[in-house]
Structure 1
Amino acid sequence: MQQSPPRSRRKPVQDFSLAPVMSALDAIEHGGAGVDDALRQLRRRHDCHPSHLAWAAEAVQNVLAARAEHVAHHLPGPGALPTEDIWVAAAELATPDARGAVRYERTAWGRRYASADGRLREIWLLSVNSVKDRTAAEIAEAAAVAVTGVPSVAGFGEPYRPTGAGAMLPEQVRVVAVGCGDGSRRVLADWDAEEAVRQYTRHAKPALARVIDLRANQTSPGSACVNCEGLPSCSQPPTIPLLLGVNRPRRVRRRRSVSVSDLRTHATCPAKYHLTRVLHLKSAEPESAAIRRGRAVDAWLNEQHRVRHSCRAALLPDVLPGLTTEETGPAARMIAEHAAVCPLDGLPEDEQVEVQPRRTAYDPELDAVVIADPDLLYTDAGGWVWRETKTAASRPWEGRPLMESFPQLALAVLLMSAGVLGGDPRRSRIELELLYEDGSACEELCPADPGTVEEARRVIAALAGPWAADETCTATPGHGCTGCEALRWCGPGLGHTAGS
């Protein structure tokens, strides 16, 4: 089914973190540009946010430094030089399979290097911030593609075409991970060709088979729906016109995903939203104690709820990951406050419980995939209950409407009133649990109440309207600059904090 009107591909500002990094590295490694020239060219780009370019310039130098250290460490062995061709492992089928496919192509995205004699290949897997942990299947697949892949070029919407260059398969492969944000580097695999094939057969091949089966037989709605051409005709996620309460903009843009956290961050500072929520840039500065405490409490509660245990009888933790001894005390007291109001206490065994499930909906007016991750969903006598649990150092201001203080509740109202969860709407409700060191509070909202739904629409539309119309993500310096994860690369923010 063709999307109507046709789907836009327009990006007012680049939303792929590594796009300028890869372009600059291409200029250096394949175009013969010097580092200084490539960085000057990088800073002149007009399709990226200025802070994105500031980060990218650092990232390029971090990758180059990591590459130089890697080469020096592995001398005097065979050196690996940049290669521009993509390595493609393709399988042709004599007849279409159950999915209708006659050809499968496997590639591994990253930087590619090969020795002059073709005996060694390296593939570098880039992460935005630090080196990312990779599964055994990911590592084995990257190694297998590097070992068995044929140098090829892509045609838009067409199969890859072999170039005929460097077609000899290597004897050795390395998979190297590098963090663009801090230059961290780790060799994930250093195998001969036979070992790479063994690791692929053991780890990657079963994982690929599961992925193919999953995609053939069921849907898994989420942020990946942004890139799916079949979304308009798919049964999931459910389509809810004007879910965000904003009409189609005059200039349509590429499909995006959005959550309430995204909208709240954009309302605070559009630049912070773009850098931290879209590009996922993160400085090395430590997080605040309140953020770490909230995460630790959340993780402990989730673990209890996943095994279907009421928290009332649970032993309070003496240690919580990520917290100091002094910080564990306040967090444990919040957990104790939760135990008194845990919704699983006394819940019948035949009721359903889902811990931090993802719920997704599609707003066709904005071509936006709307994502929500409730802390807990459970059924109660035929209705669904959506529960949000928040830790806080102080009580919220009583003069502010509840859904303005916690707009995730407003989105929950809209999704439940639209029937996304199912169940009896008259028996369904939304619960907010607030945890303090010295007490707790619980509030309820009814998604079947017309007044509540109308207020929820107003709250979400007020947040979504500026987000939908914004094409520049301009910084709005203020008190929020202190502690911002993207401050390092934000000129207006640095100017504000220096002036303060």
Structure 2
Amino acid sequence: MAESLYAAKVFPVVSKIVTSSKPTPGNSCEGCKIAGCCTSLEKLDGFLGQSRKGPATRSVSARDLEVYEKCPAQWYLVSNNLPSESSSLPSSERGRVIHEWLARAHMGSHECDPSDLDVIDDNFPAGLNESDYLDARDYVTQHAAICPLGEGVRVIGSEVSVYGYDAQADVVVVSKPDLLYVDSDDTFVIRETKTTTLSLPGDAQEAFDRFFAVPWLLNLIGSGYRGPYKSDKARLELEVLASEDSRVFSWDLGDARLLRMARAEVRLRAKKWHRDTTWNSSPGEHCRWCPVRGWCSDATADEADDDHLRMP
């Protein structure tokens, strides 16, 4: 029985691994000895704006730098794949549900229609139940009113992982844009979607300052990334969804000053992370929702401080 199952289930997978000659970018790129000459990694020399290589080859995403800024120890423990607990904030879980729903919807290259949200059916992402849907429904409805898909629009990919290599910093750069598409006038577009319970940004500058994904993706496009569609025209769109309102912000990649601002923001955020070798913790309120707090000796420091303040 074991031999039969191996032949049917395992052997086809093993054969593909052994005979494959095409590299597949992924999490293992960080420790790969040939990352610098791999043809499957986008060439992003100077992306992080660092003047020299760090202590070791690493990989980083915009989300990684946001986590590091909050607590270097959390980034380090998570990046080393220590077992974690699911203790995310309700807002984070809602954002995950919304992104999964949108990714599934956009795979069909059809414009989202608010009327499609009236019925709960079997087309929802795996793990999405009725309770999850009802909690996220208002946000998804707001998206449907401003969905960019339609006549003349070609979807390149939804939730596409992009791996590149910054040889100057010796870092594998990881991005995962929510939607890549080409609009009706042949402009390559990256659209990022964010949800919020706060007020929407008042203008593009406020959106740039609030969401680090904006300068990160502007830097990605400015570095030449166009996915499989090579176009001279490109723009970044940020879609911000609240439960009762939504807004789309757009940035033209022909603005040299904007690209300088984006590069400067990425450079400043990456500087300390790039040189860090100690990964000291920064205890605080965020410890309560840290997925690797069980591995951190300082995880309860903020609770001890709270107890001290409550003492008579």
More strand by share: 1
1:225 aligns with 2:29: yes
1:338 aligns with one of 140, 143, 148: 143
Find the counterpart in structure 2 of residue 267 from structure 1.
Answer: 69
TM-score, normalisation: structure 2: 0.87
- Spell out, residue by residue over 1:420-469, the C-alpha distance to the aligned partner (whole angstroms, 9 max, x if none): 215333x3111111111101011011223211110111111111101011
- Percent of aligned pairs with the same amino acid: 26
Tell me the distance in 1 between the aligned counterparts of 2:272 and 2:189: 31
1:390 aligns with one of 181, 186, 194: 194
Counterparts of 1:107-126 in structure 2, within 5 Å, are none
Find the counterpart in structure 2 of residue 203 from structure 1.
Answer: 9
- Spell out, residue by residue over 1:302-356, the C-alpha distance to the aligned partner (whole angstroms, 9 max, x if none): 111112222115234548745673x6434111111111111113344xx243111
Query: Cα 1:230–1:290, aligned 2, differ >3 Å: closer, same or farther?
Result: same
Tell me the distance in 1 between the aligned counterparts of 2:116 and 2:299: 45
Counterparts of 1:134-283 in structure 2, within 5 Å, are 195-213=1-19, 215-216=20-21, 218-249=22-53, 252-283=54-85
Query: Cα 1:446–1:484, aligned 2, differ >3 Å: closer, same or farther?
Result: same
Find the counterpart in structure 2 of residue 177 from structure 1.
Answer: none
SS of residue matched to 2:41: coil
Query: Which one has a bigger Cα radius of gyration?
Result: 1
2:282 aligns with one of 454, 459, 476: 476
The one-letter amino acid paired with 2:220 is L
Tell me the distance in 1 between the aligned counterparts of 2:130 and 2:277: 42
The one-letter amino acid paired with 2:199 is R
SS of residue matched to 1:386: strand
1:355 aligns with 2:158: yes
- Spell out, residue by residue over 1:180-228, the C-alpha distance to the aligned partner (whole angstroms, 9 max, x if none): xxxxxxxxxxxxxxx2221111111111222344x31x33223322233
1:371 aligns with 2:174: yes
Q: Is the 8 A contact 1:292 1:322 kept in 2?
A: no
Find the counterpart in structure 2 of residue 465 from structure 1.
Answer: 271
SS of residue matched to 1:429: strand
Find the counterpart in structure 2 of residue 485 from structure 1.
Answer: 291
SS of residue matched to 1:257: strand
1:451 aligns with 2:257: yes
Tell me the distance in 2 between the aligned counterparts of 1:347 and 1:323: 33
Find the counterpart in structure 1 of residue 309 from structure 2.
Answer: none
1:289 aligns with 2:96: no
- Spell out, residue by residue over 1:396-430, the C-alpha distance to the aligned partner (whole angstroms, 9 max, x if none): 565974333222221211221222215333x3111
The one-letter amino acid paired with 1:415 is L
Find the counterpart in structure 1 of residue 103 from structure 2.
Answer: 302
Query: Cα 1:263–1:443, aligned 2, differ >3 Å: closer, same or farther?
Result: same
Query: Cα 1:436–1:323, aligned 2, differ >3 Å: closer, same or farther?
Result: farther
More helix by share: 2
Q: Is the 8 A contact 1:275 1:281 kept in 2?
A: no
The one-letter amino acid paired with 2:89 is S
| Structure 1 residue runs without a partner (length 5+) | 1-194
| Residue 281 (structure 1) shift | 3.4
Query: Cα 1:439–1:356, aligned 2, differ >3 Å: closer, same or farther?
Result: same
Query: Cα 1:346–1:314, aligned 2, differ >3 Å: closer, same or farther?
Result: farther
Tell me the distance in 1 between the aligned counterparts of 2:146 and 2:76: 37
Q: Is the 8 A contact 2:110 2:149 kept in 1?
A: yes
| Residue 254 (structure 1) shift | 2.7
- Spell out, residue by residue over 1:365-404, the C-alpha distance to the aligned partner (whole angstroms, 9 max, x if none): 2211001000110112322110111111112565974333
Tell me the distance in 2 between the aligned counterparts of 1:311 and 1:397: 24
- Spell out, residue by residue over 1:113-147, the C-alpha distance to the aligned partner (whole angstroms, 9 max, x if none): xxxxxxxxxxxxxxxxxxxxxxxxxxxxxxxxxxx
Query: Cα 1:347–1:317, aligned 2, differ >3 Å: closer, same or farther?
Result: farther
Tell me the distance in 2 between the aligned counterparts of 1:226 and 1:283: 24
Counterparts of 1:435-450 in structure 2, within 5 Å, are 435-450=241-256
The one-letter amino acid paired with 1:221 is P
Tell me the distance in 1 between the aligned counterparts of 2:151 and 2:6: 47
TM-score, normalisation: structure 1: 0.56
Q: Is the 8 A contact 1:258 1:370 kept in 2?
A: yes
Find the counterpart in structure 2 of residue 414 from structure 1.
Answer: 219
Tell me the distance in 2 between the aligned counterparts of 1:254 and 1:470: 10
Structure scoring higher RCO (CA < 8 A, sep ≥ 6) equals: 2
| Residue 357 (structure 1) shift | 0.9
In the comparison of the two structures, how many residue pairs are matched?
Answer: 297
